[in-house]
Structure 1
Amino acid sequence: MTTSEETACGPCRRTVVATLSAAGFAAALTACGAGDDKDASEPAGAQEPDGDAAAEGSVLAATSDIPVGGGKIFKDAGVVVTQPTEGKFKAFSNRCTHKGCPVSSVSDGTVNCPCHGSKFDVADGSVKDGPAPKPLPAARITVTGGSIKLA
């Protein structure tokens, strides 16, 4: 093989490898999100709020809407609000720290991700069952009277 042939084919190999790598990455992303809703493939925090999403300072819920030992998911606002003990309210991102899937339920003291089974404690967002590597990030809320608002 001559030097000119190496130069002519070198980019060809690099192009093929780069194309296959990009295609493999795209296939992996598609496979990971298969069967999930469209938001599941987005990274945490990347969700664009809908037109009716709760704006900062707007009322999310009444305190009476959040069960003691449980919580409620506010998809449009991107948060889950919990009440671990009577009168104590916490808020966390609604995106699992494993693959960014939106959490789907709050039950038995945990916030639950349907994609890979991660569970987070309603009191502090810590991982109770993996594969999530980190706790749910805290979100800021204020509780005034009987209203819970995004801070």
Structure 2
Amino acid sequence: MGVATTVGLTGCTGDLQTEASAPSQHPGGSPTPALPVRDLPVGSQASVAIDGRTLLLHRESEDTVRAFSAECTHQGCTVAPDQDRGRPTFACPCHGSHFDVATGVPYGGPAQKPLTEFTATVEDDMVVVRI
């Protein structure tokens, strides 16, 4: 099982991402505990590190959690939870791209493709992501 930790905002990874190389959905793999549900109240977002990968989580309802790669689809910088005009967003510190927390779709900045989505579920008292 992977270990999950909360991480802060970091800069660019240095890896350029072409629009064609940014997949829209990860097919999934092993179910990996990401975060206790008590640490992700409904309507909130979090950034977690799992097995060397940073993921962004958004809890839509008691039973629905969305998980996305924190790698910006523009140039690979690390995206993090933020606020944009009072609404939650996932924001890239490098070039200002903003992504919808429920869909991963960009709505501001130079990114054109959505963040890669991972399958996430609420199981017992944990948020579980398929990595």
Shared fold, TM over 0.5? yes
Q: Does 1:105 align with 2:78?
A: no
Which protein has greater RCO, CA pairs closer than 8 Å, 6+ apart? 2
Q: Does 1:136 align with 2:110?
A: no
Structure 2: distance between partners of 1:84 and 1:62: 15
> Is the radius of gyration larger for structure 1 or structure 2?
1
**Structure 2: segments with no counterpart, 5+ residues:** 1-9, 22-28
Offset of 1:81 from its aligned partner? Answer: 0.8
Structure 1: distance between partners of 2:88 and 2:62: 13
Q: Check whether the contact 2:56–2:80 (CA below 8 A) recurs between aligned residues.
A: no
Q: 1:74 aligns to what SS in structure 2?
A: strand
Structure 1: distance between partners of 2:61 and 2:91: 18
Q: Does 1:72 align with 2:51?
A: no
Query: CA-atom RMSD, angstroms?
Result: 2.4
Offset of 1:129 from its aligned partner? Answer: 1.0
**Deviation readout 1:48-68 (Å, 9 max, x if unpaired):** xxxxxxx94332101121243
Question: Relative to total residues, which structure has the larger helix share, 1 or 2?
Answer: 1
Q: Check whether the contact 2:64–2:122 (CA below 8 A) recurs between aligned residues.
A: no
Q: Does 1:63 align with 2:37?
A: yes
TM-score normalised to structure 2 length: 0.68
Q: Does 1:94 align with 2:70?
A: yes
Number of residue pairs aligned between Structure 1 and Structure 2: 106
**Structure 1: segments with no counterpart, 5+ residues:** 1-35, 46-54
Q: In structure 2, do the counterparts of structure 1 residues 142 and 84 end up closer, same or farther at CA, with 3 Å as the change threshold? A: closer
TM-score normalised to structure 1 length: 0.60
Q: Does 1:40 align with 2:16?
A: no
Q: 1:64 aligns to what SS in structure 2?
A: helix
Identity of aligned residues (%): 32
